[in-house]
Amino acid sequence: MQLTIIKTFVSRFLILILSFGLVIYSTNMWGSEGKGTISIVVANAAAVSFFSSIFSGSSASYFASRFKIEKVLLFAYLWSLLTGLLIPFLFSLASIQSEYLLYLIGISVFSSLLSTNISLFIGTQDIRKFNVYTVLQQLVHIIFIGILVYLFGKKDVSVYFLAQIGCLVVLFLTSFFQIIKKCNISEISFSKEVARNMFEYGWKTQLSAFVQFLNYRLSFYFLEYFEGIASVGIFSIGVTFSEAIWTITRSIAVVLYSDVVNSKSREESVEKTKDSLKLTFILMIGFVLGIIIIPSQVYEIIFGKEFTHTKEIMLLLSPGIFAIAVSDMVGHYFSGMRELKILNVKSIVGLAVTVIFSFIAIPRWGIWGACLATTSSYLVSAFLMFRKFYSSTTFSLKDYMVSKEEIQLLKEKFLKK
C-alpha cells in the first residue's frame, strides 16, 4: 500500500504544481472578474458531475470488480450523456452564467465520460492509469490554453472553457480505447440487476457528495449575489489553494478506497484507514506551516494587486482545510464499507451550517464572512465523521504519529523505486 501511495502522491504533487500555475495564469490574464466567472462556471460543471456520477463515479469503481465492465460501461455512458445535456439547461433557466451554457454542456458531458473511464481504473486497481490521467487533465488543459492564446490569438475568458473541453475530449478518447480493448463488445447489454445496484449505491454516495459540494461552493453564489463576481474571484483563490492541497491528501484516500473495496476483513480496513489518517495528518501540518511562513506580499506579487488579502483568506480557511483533509480518510473508509448514512448526515449538517452562516456573515463581512461560514461548516462535518469512526474503533494518538521505523520503510521503498 505504501508504494502505491508514494506513486499517487508524486502524481498529486505534479497536479498541485500545475494547478497553481493555471491559477496564477488565469488571475493575471483575466483578473478577479475573469477568475470569478471561471469559478462559477466550473462550480456549475462540478454540480452537474454529482448527478452524472450516480452511475459514472464511485458506483462504476465499486461495481467494476462485481459485474462485467461491459454492462457497467453502458449505463455509465448513457447516464453521462443524459445528465450532461439536461442539467446545464436548468442552470441556464436560473440565469447562472447562462451565456456560457454551451461550454458548460461540453465540459459536463466529456468530464463525466472521462470520469467513468477513470473510475473503472480505480475499481480494477489500475492506480497507475488513474494517476496518469489525473495529471494529464491539468497538463493538457494548460497546453490547449497556450495553443488558443499564443497560436490563435484568443484572449477572452472563454479560452479557459474551450481548452478544457478540448482536453477532456482527447483524454476521454484515449482512455476509451484502452478500456474497450479489454471488453467483449457482444457482452454489452442492459441488465436490470446492474442498473438497480449501481443506482442504489450511486445516489446514496452522490447525495452526500453533492451536499458536501454545496458546502464547498454555496458561498460562491452568496458572494456573487451580495458582493459581485469580482469578490468570488478573490475568495476563490483561497478555496483553490485548499483544493489543490486536497489533491495531495485525496491521493491517499483513493488508494485507501480501492483497498477497502477489495478487502476481505473489516479489521484490515480499519488499520489501513488509521495508516492513512497518520500520513495525512503529518502532510497537513506541513501545508499549514507553509501558509503561515509565506509573506502576504508574495501572494500579491504572484496573483496581482487585487489579491492582496489572499494570505488572510488562507489562514481563516486553514482550520477547516486541515479538518476536511484528515476526515476524508474516514469518509472513504465508510464509502468502501457501504456505510453511507453517516456521509449523508455530516454533509446535511455541514450544509445547514453553511446556509445559516452565509445569510448572517456574508452580508455583514463579505469575503471574511464567507471564510467564517466555510470553515465552520468544514469543522462541524469533520467532527461528525471522527465521532462516528471512533465510536466503533479505539482512538489512539499513535493514529496520528509516524514512527521512525515507518519513515525508514517509506524511504527504502521510495529510493528502491
Domain end call among 137, 165, 190: 190
8 A C-beta contact, residue 316 and residue 296: no
| 291 and 172 belong to one structural domain | no
| 159 and 236 belong to one structural domain | no
Domains held by the chain: number: 2
Is 222 part of a structural domain of the chain?
A: no
| 246 and 385 belong to one structural domain | yes
Sequence letter at residue 157:
V
| 301 and 174 belong to one structural domain | no
Q: Helix, strand, or coil here: 161?
A: helix
Rounded to two decimals, what is the model's pTM?
A: 0.73
**208 or 389: which leads in pLDDT:** 389
Burial of 293 (0-12, 13-18, 19+ CB in 10 A): exposed
Which DSSP string do the residues of 290-340 spell out, in sequence order?
Answer: HHHHS-HHHHHHHH-GGGTTHHHHHHHHHHHHHHHHHHHHHHHHHHHTT--
Is 199 part of a structural domain of the chain?
A: no
**Alpha-helix runs per DSSP H in 181-228:** 192-227
CB-CB neighbours of 160 under 10 Å: 25
Containing structural domain, residue 46:
1-190
CA gap 43, 218 in Å, rounded = 9
pLDDT value at position 368?
94
Is 60 part of a structural domain of the chain?
A: yes
pLDDT, tens digit, for every residue of 259-278? 777 777 777 788 788 878 88
**What are the backbone dihedrals phi and psi of residue 390, each rounded to the nearest 5 degrees, phi first?**
-85, 0
Model confidence at 182: pLDDT above 80: no
CA gap 244, 17 in Å, rounded = 9
Q: What angle do CA 192, 331, 21 make, to 5 degrees?
A: 100
pLDDT value at position 402?
66
Is 212 part of a structural domain of the chain?
A: no
CA gap 366, 373 in Å, rounded = 11
Least confident of 136-140, 198-202, 230-234, 375-379: 198-202
**Alpha-helix runs per DSSP H in 57-95:** 58-63, 69-93
In Å, how far are 2, 105, 330, 342, 348 from 204, measured between CA atoms? 30, 25, 17, 11, 13
Domain end call among 139, 162, 190: 190
Is 210 part of a structural domain of the chain?
A: no
Proportion of the chain above pLDDT 90, given as a percent = 21
**402 or 317: which leads in pLDDT:** 317
Closest CA to 45 of 156, 144, 161, 145: 161
Is 101 part of a structural domain of the chain?
A: yes
| 176 and 241 belong to one structural domain | no
| 381 and 232 belong to one structural domain | yes
